[in-house]
């Protein structure tokens, strides 16, 4: 029986390999602000930041899915109510923009605000004006989380925006490149499947771990 080879053992392994791609001295010198765009990205940041000791945060967002397909993400709304839409999917499913904006409002009220109160005691994401920001995720299937985060942070007039992700589809990478100052990756793949398939261990990050990572 052939033993399957995974790209990463776990998120710690992914973080250590991603760290090799980062300009660490520049991170320290310019005091980059590390921002997770998912709970898995927050764990990646935790391991990246063990010696760097940089400021970190979690930019919350929520996916908006097709009415009859809960696995098909059409759009995403961030905690600053910035919305990014996969227009090709919206057209293919004949979804109206009224549905997208209605769902965005509902997800913001029901999910995102609950995250803000639960994990930040009601404090919103810090303003990134004039800061150098590194957005981090554990992988990127549709790219909507990262694109939503870029749109949100760009509206704050940062000094620079960088992206770091262990594994990413090549087409998503090409789409993101014009939006960020630089993107750091371990591997870009043409035939991308679910992010979890590249990790030997890909357990859900618990509420307790999220609180610990944000408070560490």
Mean pLDDT of 170-181: 96
> What is the spatial distance between Cα 33 and Cα 55, in angstroms, rounded to a whole number?
5
Q: Is residue 170 part of a domain?
A: yes
pLDDT above 70: residue 136: yes
> What is the spatial distance between Cα 203 and Cα 192, in angstroms, rounded to a whole number?
20
* Shared-domain flag, residues 22 and 104: no
Please report the pLDDT score of residue 79 as a whole number: 95
* Shared-domain flag, residues 100 and 194: no
Helix axes 39-48, 11-19, angle to 10 degrees: 50
Q: Is residue 2 part of a domain?
A: no
* Shared-domain flag, residues 77 and 97: yes
Please report the pLDDT score of residue 159 as a whole number: 98
* Shared-domain flag, residues 66 and 159: no
- Whether the CA torsion 28, 199, 138, 147 is positive or negative: it is positive
Mean pLDDT of 157-163: 98
Q: Is residue 1 part of a domain?
A: no
* Shared-domain flag, residues 47 and 150: yes
- Contact of 43 with 49, CB cutoff 8 Å: no
* Shared-domain flag, residues 173 and 89: no
The pTM score is 0.95
pLDDT above 90: residue 135: yes
What mean pLDDT is reported for the chain?
94
> What is the spatial distance between Cα 100 and Cα 66, in angstroms, rounded to a whole number?
9
Distance of CA 148 to the CA centre of its chain: 9
HSE toward the beta carbon, residue 63, CA cutoff 13 A: 18
Q: Is residue 23 part of a domain?
A: yes
Q: What is the pLDDT of residues 87-112, one digit of tens each?
A: 999 999 899 999 999 999 999 999 99
What domain range is 80 assigned to? 62-120
How many domains, the chain?
Answer: 2
Please report the pLDDT score of residue 216 as a whole number: 62
Please report the pLDDT score of residue 2 as a whole number: 44
Q: What is the pLDDT of residues 31-89, one digit of tens each?
A: 999 999 999 999 999 999 999 999 999 999 999 999 988 889 999 999 999 999 999 99
Mean pLDDT of 175-191: 96
Please report the pLDDT score of residue 35 as a whole number: 98
* Shared-domain flag, residues 184 and 197: yes
- Contact of 15 with 167, CB cutoff 8 Å: no
* Shared-domain flag, residues 129 and 40: yes
Q: Comparing C-alpha atoms, which of 152, 162, 3 is closest to residue 84?
A: 152
- Answer with the one of 73, 98, 120 that is the final residue of a domain: 120
Residues 6+ apart with CB under 8 A from 20: none
pLDDT above 90: residue 4: no
């Amino acid at each position: 029986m052939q033993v399957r080879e995974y790209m990463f053992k776990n998120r710690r392994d992914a973080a250590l390999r991603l760290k090799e791609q980062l300009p660490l001295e520049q991170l320290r010198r310019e005091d980059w602000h590390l921002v997770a765009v998912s709970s898995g990205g927050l764990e990646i940041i935790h391991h990246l930041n063990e010696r760097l000791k940089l400021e970190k945060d979690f930019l919350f967002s929520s996916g908006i899915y097709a009415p009859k397909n809960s696995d098909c993400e059409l759009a995403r709304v961030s905690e600053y109510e910035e919305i990014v839409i996969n227009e090709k999917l919206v057209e293919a499913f004949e979804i109206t923009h009224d549905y997208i904006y209605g769902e965005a409002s509902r997800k913001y009220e029901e999910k995102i605000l609950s995250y803000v109160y639960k994990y930040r005691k009601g404090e919103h994401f810090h303003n990134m004006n004039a800061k150098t920001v590194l957005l981090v995720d554990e992988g990127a299937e549709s790219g909507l989380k990262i694109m939503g985060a870029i749109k949100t942070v760009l509206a704050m007039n940062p000094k620079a925006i960088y992206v770091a992700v262990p594994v990413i589809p090549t087409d998503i990478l090409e789409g993101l490149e014009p939006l960020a100052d630089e993107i750091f990756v371990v591997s870009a793949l043409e035939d991308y499947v679910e992010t979890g398939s590249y990790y030997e261990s890909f357990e859900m990050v618990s509420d307790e771990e999220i609180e610990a990572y944000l408070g560490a």
